A and B are shown apart, each in its own frame.
Chain A
Amino acid sequence: MARPMDEIRWQDLEIGAAVSEHGSSSEYKTGTWRSLRPVVDKDQCIRCGVCWLYCPDVAIKQSEDGYFEADLEYCKGCGICARECPVGCISVVIEEF
């Protein structure tokens, strides 16, 4: 896991604004942007992975039992997964943090 952004001072930056830690943006949790939350009805889910493939935020993870679910740390609540699910088993509810 990357170092929290607010702990990095400008003196720590590398020359040329190089960033040596790959994928470190995941330190920032875009899930806080969300006003809507996708909820999967597992009874109807056919575990096809279409929701996973279409998520612009890489925010859908497959669990060990094969179901696909939103990772709420990153899900921005765009609603694409709910819209594209071929069986329509994802509903969108208002987020309450």
Chain B
Amino acid sequence: MDKFSVFSARLVEKGEYFTSGHRACQGCAEALAVRLVMKALGRNTIVAMATGCMEIVSSPLPTTAWEVPWIHVAFENASAVISGCESGMKAMMRKGKLPPKKINFVAMGGDGATADIGMGQLSGALERGHDMIYVCYDNEAYMNTGIQRSSSTPWGASTTTSPAGKVSKGQYTQKKDMPKIAIAHNIPYVATACPSFPFDLMDKVEKAAAIEGPAYLHILSVCPTGWRIPSEEAIKYGRLAVNTCVFPLYEYEHGEYSLTYRPHPILPVREYIEGQGRFRHLGSEDIDSIQERTRMEYEKLVKLSEED
């Protein structure tokens, strides 16, 4: 359970801005993440979305699952397109051609679109200081084209382009730390989130929308198809990622780090790794090395959050 009274679910915004009929796989927590992000943003939102699962499943021409203005752009330029929307509309408001209004300008992309292909454009948009939110849905591979590794795929995960076998343990590089790259741009707000913790996620989206200037949200989005887990366990594995500190929930706000959720007790990473088909080939020593790295990274984060 999230750290909420179970009844608070009923208090959540009833409006849906990402609707039924989308073609995401059964139990897709990436689709759930989009749904929750949109709930928190509400109607006054414009979305530019990079190609990827969420774009494909939500826009089967001639229909759309979106209830807000939404545009599908190329893999690399969601942040460039939303920068243009923001600047253009701001100019029109200034000239009195549009009524002044608070609009959420949001770019969205998968981990491939964000950590690999759209990195340059994202960096440019963050640097220019647009009043925008960038949301990365990280399912740790290029899922839409059939589970190819990205720079956000964790060490040891087997994908079609980092297959485990006699000579390979799957992905041989460590996961790129995308939120830290966003932080390095000195933007006002960066946060990590996971739909298994829906209230934490929606709070962060609201904060990102309220803050002036660029905000970056990195959302761990469990993909049952690519992670090779049963569909009903998508929420459970997101919770395990957080409770084992493999994916800590934190915020970076105006230069200060804070952990928004501290697992207690911290569970062994084994509980997260075991049961996922993409890690099935890993032995005890491999899991120990993941455990050690996870512990070190988490300690660094705790230190950062205690510095101020």
When distances are taken between beta carbons in the complex, the residues of chain A under 8 Å from B234 are 56, 78, 80
A2→B235 CA distance, assembly (Å): 32
| Shortest Cβ distance from A86 into B: residue | B6
Instruction: Enumerate A59-87 residues with CB–CB distance to B below 8 Å.
Output: 59, 71, 73-74, 76-80, 82-84, 86
Answer yes or no: A39 CB below 8 A from chain B CBs: no
Complex contact A74–B62 (CB within 8 A): no
A54→B60 CA distance, assembly (Å): 24
Complex contact B9–A80 (CB within 8 A): no
Complex contact B63–A80 (CB within 8 A): no
Size of the A side of the interface (Cβ < 8 Å), in residues, is 44
Complex contact A30–B230 (CB within 8 A): no
When distances are taken between beta carbons in the complex, the residues of chain B under 8 Å from A28 are 21, 23, 60, 63
Tell me if B's interface is mostly helix, strand, loop or mixed: loop
When distances are taken between beta carbons in the complex, the residues of chain A under 8 Å from B26 are 33, 76-78
Answer yes or no: B167 CB below 8 A from chain A CBs: no
- Known contacts A78-B27, A82-B232, A83-B233: does B32 contact A56 (CB below 8 Å)? yes
A54→B33 CA distance, assembly (Å): 9
When distances are taken between beta carbons in the complex, the residues of chain B under 8 Å from A46 are 6
A74→B22 CA distance, assembly (Å): 9
A83→B27 CA distance, assembly (Å): 11
- Known contacts A25-B60, A53-B9, A58-B16: does B235 contact A80 (CB below 8 Å)? yes
Q: Which A residues are within 8 Å of any B CB, using their own CB?
A: 2, 5, 8, 12-13, 17, 19, 21-30, 33, 46-50, 52-59, 71, 73-74, 76-80, 82-84, 86, 92
Nearest 3 Cβ contacts at the A-B interface: A79-B232, A25-B21, A78-B27
